[in-house]
Chain A
Amino acid sequence: MVDPLHQFEIHTLIPLRLLGYDISFTNASLAMALTTLIVMGVLTLSLNVRYQNPTRLYVAVESLFHFVGDMLKTYVGRAGWVYFPYVFALFMFILVGNLVGLVPYTFTFTSHIIVTFGMAALVFIGATAVGMARHGLRFLRLFFPEGIPLFVAPLLVPVEIISYLSRPVSLGVRLFANMVAGHVMLKIFAGFAALIAASSFGVLAVLPVAMNVLINVFEVLVAVLQAYVFTILTCIYLNDAINLH
């Protein structure tokens, strides 16, 4: 039986060392570089428009642009528009990264918790910094909203702080867990297919393969949905930081 977790192993492609740290170029780095190149390539190609004739690619990229833009407008409002480049880059990186990982023989970098948690921590620290810069110490009102009797403070403040600290964890773990679960499931059914094909009922191997086709379609949905969820939560956290209630 094939090891379903083997696909998540990191291999060094080009060994590099800097100041005593191992910064080797691995297969995860390759997948990330590939993702970045695809995003940059598609966005650059889409701008190749002559006069009044938008190409299909241009329309597709524009609809993605509006998708993220509308999300930002609905959840944050006009004040959040300055953060559009960051949110759009994050969305495209996760979306294309998830989809690249679905191609056989590639690597899914979003299936490593340190990658997803790194992105989530960046969102968390960024949103906190934005809130602090915009509201100063008034930002701490987030943990104790106005109009609440003082005697509940010893209970409410720790609960609010834990709720705030849990954000990057849930953000990172959700993306990681969804990607890992899907890919492990694919590998397990592929393993069934290999085992059955080798047995005397070889014809029955069609069943797990058919299942795998279905799971693959489902995985495309999960890949897009998780990119969407990550982006929408980024918008919600930015909203909390910008529009203090």
Chain B
Amino acid sequence: MHRKLIPLALRVSTDFIAAMGVATVIGYSLDGYLQTRPWGMVIFTVLGIMAGGLNVYRGLTTLQHKDRDDG
């Protein structure tokens, strides 16, 4: 069980940061097109943090689910 947790630990942290980064970049570029600085970036960063939380949750539940299947 502990051996399986090492790849997981390496995974979820990047998943969280990547979602935040992607969302911030989307928000920033939307601002450029729509001239709505800084609202796009603010809203999308918040959405990105939520998406990051979702990623972490998914990563953890997928592993548990698969473990149960293995028995």
Contacts and interface: CB of A to CB of B under 8 A. Distances in A.
B51 interface: yes
Contacts of A75: 66
Interface size class of A (residues with CB under 8 A): 20 to 34
B19 A228 contact: no
Contact of A163 (B6, B51, B62): B51
From DSSP, what is the main secondary structure of chain A's interface residues?
Answer: helix
Contacts of A160: 51, 54
A162 B7 contact: no
A63 interface: no
Interface residues of B, number: 26
Interface stretch (A20-28, A80-88, A130-138, A169-177): A169-177
A159 B51 contact: yes
Contacts of A166: 15, 18-19, 21-23, 48, 51-52, 55
Contacts of B7: 225, 228-229, 232
Nearest to A158: B47
Contact of B10 (A155, A167, A174, A236): A174
B47 to A, nearest CB: 5
A225 B47 contact: no
Contact of A170 (B17, B26, B70): B17
B16 to A, nearest CB: 8
Interface in A146-181: 155, 158-160, 162-163, 165-167, 169-170, 173-174, 177-178
A162 B48 contact: yes
A57 to B, nearest CB: 26
B14 interface: yes
Interface in B1-35: 6-7, 10-11, 14-15, 17-19, 21-23, 26
A166 B22 CA distance: 6
A163 B54 contact: yes
A74 B54 contact: no
A161 B55 CA distance: 11
Nearest to A161: B51
Given A166-B22, A169-B18, A173-B18, A229 B10 contact: yes
Nearest to B7: A229
Given A225-B7, A228-B7, A170 B15 contact: yes
14 contacts: A74-B70, A159-B50, A160-B54, A162-B47, A162-B48, A162-B51, A163-B51, A163-B54, A163-B55, A177-B14, A178-B10, A225-B6, A226-B10, A236-B62
The 5 tightest CB contacts between A and B, nearest first, are A170-B18, A166-B19, A162-B51, A163-B51, A169-B18
Interface of B: 6-7, 10-11, 14-15, 17-19, 21-23, 26, 44, 47-48, 50-52, 54-55, 58, 62, 66, 69-70
Given A162-B22, A162-B26, A165-B22, 4 more contacts: A158-B47, A163-B55, A167-B18, A232-B7
